[in-house]
Amino acid sequence: MDKMLPKVRKAVFPAAGLGTRFLPATKAQPKEMLPLVDKPLIQYGVEEAIHSGIQNIIIITGRGKTAIEDHFDVSFEMEHLLESRNKKDLLNTIRSISDMINVAYVRQKEAMGLGHAVLRARELIGPEPFGVVLSDDVIDAEVPCMRQLLDIYEFYGASVVALMEVPKDVISSYGVVDAEPIAHNGARDRLFRICNMVEKPRPDEAPSNLAIIGRYVLTPEIFDSIESIEPGSGGELQLTDALKHLLRSRPIYGLRFEGARYDAGDKLGFLKATVEFALKRYDLGEEFRQYLSTLKL
Ligand code: G1P
């Protein structure tokens, strides 16, 4: 790593969205708190950031999201109860959540898009590069996806987005890139130099089948780009549009990361993730597998 290159120390977690794709579960509960097996979605993202070497997180919240703040805080009553019952394992589990990381919260008063959410973190980020994690995108990978992106950032010193090939019939749910493959670590099909990008294109207008997935490493110039764009898709300030603006003055890379991604903000994606994660659990997997094999499918 270039010694002069600033280190990525912080990650932004936009979490002010209303979660309409998961109603009625998200009527009075943040979607970020839906449990995959026994851990809320957002905790998977936070653990990924920690395992990637990031120690500070900034969660962009909104109305009705206090459960997220409580989750990463100390729970005196719960700790007291577990202590008195001598439940040491559970006590350690819940203590480790509050000890996990430094968290700051910023309120996004109105949900005006992903770009708008990221811009709310400007003061706390300052002139540093930073990560962005969309906790709906749960990524199961040997090397955490954020770490994979950071390796590219540390090599090229530029912004990097996570990419994945998606089928044409769902391409219009994503930001889509036009990109040139470049050789990296002996492979020619993983790393791309981005030439253009479009947020939620019609299938016939999509420049490729490479979609942006919710992990980004961004250099701080992105904030000026967000400030200079107009609302785009859905009438919202889109991060993809800001990245496209940034492309005029800076290179941006895209990494087709290694790992399995689940769209846990979607009911079917959430179910798939639940089954896969439960099967991998040392304490549940075996019995769950046996149970599944009894189902007449
Ligand atoms: C956001 C981004 C989009 C990206 C997607 C990945 O969209 O705007 O570019 O492809 O996340 O999950 P959203 O899912 O919030 O509509």
Structural domains of the chain, with CATH: 10-265 (3.90.550.10), 266-297 (no CATH)
Contacts of residue 59, defined as CB under 8 A and 6 or more positions apart, other chains included, come to 13, 15, 42, 68, 69, 72, 103, 104, 105, 106
β-pair partners for 211: 164, 176
Q: Would you say residue 116 has pLDDT above 70?
A: yes
> For ligand 1, is residue 214 a contact (CB within 6 Å)?
yes
Q: Would you say residue 210 has pLDDT above 80?
A: yes
Q: Which residue's alpha carbon is nearest to atom 15 within ligand 1?
A: 114
Length of the chain as a residue count: 297
Q: How many angstroms separate the Cα of 160 from the Cα of each of 19, 145, 154, 283?
A: 26, 12, 10, 37
For 187, half-sphere exposure in the C-beta direction (CA atoms, 13 angstrom radius) is 9
pLDDT of residue 2: 62
Q: Would you say residue 91 has pLDDT above 90?
A: no
pLDDT of residue 76: 81
- Quickly state the pLDDT bin for 52 (edges 50, 70, 90): very high
- Quickly state the pLDDT bin for 99 (edges 50, 70, 90): confident
> For ligand 1, is residue 213 a contact (CB within 6 Å)?
yes
| Index of the ligand 1 atom closest to the CA of residue 114 | 8
| Index of the ligand 1 atom closest to the CA of residue 265 | 14
Least confident range of 68-82, 110-124, 178-192, 206-220: 68-82
200 CA → ligand 1 middle, Å: 8
pLDDT of residue 3: 65
Q: Which residue's alpha carbon is nearest to atom 9 within ligand 1?
A: 175
> For ligand 1, is residue 254 a contact (CB within 6 Å)?
no
What percent of the chain has a predicted confidence (pLDDT) above 90? 79
pLDDT of residue 4: 87
Q: Would you say residue 1 has pLDDT above 70?
A: no
